[in-house]
Amino acid sequence: MDDRRLVKASKYLSRHLRHDPARIGIELDEHGWVEVDVLLKALAAQRFRLSLEELEAVVAGNDKQRFALRDGKIRANQGHSVEVDLGLAPADPPQVLFHGTTGGFLDAIRAEGLKPMNRHDVHLSPDHETAIRVGSRRGKPVVLVVDAARMAEQGHLFHRSDNGVWLAAAVPAWAITFP
Ligand code: HQG
């Protein structure tokens, strides 16, 4: 499978496993899983024919490990806008985490902190480099440093998705260092 097809399949899966399963007539269970057979049939009905081997290649070869396969089912590891319970246990965050964004959002973030916007959680990166990549999706990247240890002390819960993204319900402005 060439890279272009891999990326196309990854985007297509992200759209339907995170945001819009109904569009292709599938339902996710409460934890975000769908039977692989059901998914492949639904994709085929949309003229997006993937074999099981190709699906496995998309999951294994994904640059960000966006998907998990288990017991004949598949789900997105994070990034949902539909209601799912990923069943992640709260985890102790590192001292600091990073958030990549862009200049146009800074005034709002200074005023109200980081909000999950259309997703379930605010996404935080474990390192500066990853945050630059996340911010670059929207323009010139700006990296915010989040005092995760202080937040945890104050009772904020953190979860770590299976692909290493840290998740928080919100990040108050006091916990953010702006560049
Ligand atoms: C911003 C990709 C105004 C926030 C990435 C961000 C990530 C605010 C945007 C994952 C705000 C939301 C998530 C506030 C936050 N006022 N703007 N109060 N609080 N924002 O896409 O973190 O490729 O929902 O800074 O790599 O950019 O999809 O979140 O710019 O891991 O797997 O609102 O998505 O992964 O944007 O990205 P998003 P994100 P995938």
pTM of the model: 0.90
170 pLDDT band, cuts 50/70/90, is very high
* Cβ(101) – ligand 1 distance below 6 Å: yes
Task: Pick the residue whose CA is nearest to atom 36 on ligand 1.
Answer: 117
* Cβ(114) – ligand 1 distance below 6 Å: yes
The pLDDT of residue 85: 94
* Cβ(159) – ligand 1 distance below 6 Å: no
Q: What is the pLDDT of residues 61-77, one digit of tens each?
A: 888 899 999 999 999 99
Contacts of 105 (CB under 8 A, 6+ apart): none
The pLDDT of residue 40: 97
* Cβ(87) – ligand 1 distance below 6 Å: no
For residues 75 and 32, give the distance between their C-alpha atoms in angstroms, rounded to a whole number: 6
The pLDDT of residue 1: 81
For residues 124 and 166, give the distance between their C-alpha atoms in angstroms, rounded to a whole number: 5
The pLDDT of residue 63: 83
Residue position matching structure tokens 């945890």: 152
Q: What is the pLDDT of residues 1-41, one digit of tens each?
A: 888 999 999 999 999 999 999 999 999 999 999 999 999 99
The pLDDT of residue 117: 96
What number is the average pLDDT over the span 109-118?
A: 97
The pLDDT of residue 22: 97
- Measured in angstroms, how far is the CA atom of residue 101 from the centroid of ligand 1? 7
**Predicted complex ipTM:** 0.96
The pLDDT of residue 110: 98
| Ligand 1, pocket-test mutation among 82, 101, 136, most atoms within 8 A of CB | 101
pLDDT of 142 over the 90 cut? yes
